Amino acid sequence: QVQLVESGGGSVQTGASLRLSCVASGGTFSFLTMAWFRQAPGKEREFVARILWSGDYTLYDDSVKGRFTISKDNAKSTLYLQMNSLRAEDTAVYYCASTERSVTNTVDGYDTWGQGTQVTVSS
C-alpha cells in the first residue's frame, strides 16, 4: 500500500522560502497525478498545485501562481513544492496527495494522502 510522507515545513517570516518534499513508498507506483493541497485553520482543504507523474504538465491555483513551483523526481519517488515570497495567508497544513484515476483539482479525486506538514508565515 502506497504511503506518502511530507517534510520541509516550518515557521518563517514573510518573503521567505521553503521547499516541501513528499516521498512515496510501499509498492509499485502507477500514479496519474500528484498534487499539493493545503488547509488553514477553520477552512476547507484547498488545491495548490498538481503535476502529471508521467510528464511535466503542471497547474497552479491563482493564489500561488508565480511564487510556488511543483516538481518531481520519479527516480526518487519524490514530489516537491518550492515556495517563494511566502505570505501570511500561505499559513496552513500542506498535504501531498496522489491518484491513479484522474487529473483533477478536487479533494475527492485523490485517493492517497500524506499526514501533512505545517507551514507558518509571520510578519
pLDDT digits (tens, 9 = 90+) for 100-121: 988 899 999 999 999 999 999 9
Q: How does residue 43 score in pLDDT terms, banded at 50, 70 and 90?
A: very high
**φ, ψ at 29 (rounded to 5°):** -95, 135
- Output DSSP code: residue 108: G
CA distances from residue 7 to 100, 108, 123 in whole angstroms, order as listed: 23, 23, 23
* Mean pLDDT of all residues in 81-95: 98
**What are the residues whose beta carbons fall under 8 Å from the beta carbon of 101, sequence distance 6 or more?**
32, 109, 111
Q: Report whether pLDDT(31) > 90.
A: no
* Mean pLDDT of all residues in 10-27: 95
Weakest mean pLDDT among 1-5, 83-87, 117-121: 1-5
**Model confidence over 50-66: pLDDT tens digits?**
999 888 899 999 999 99
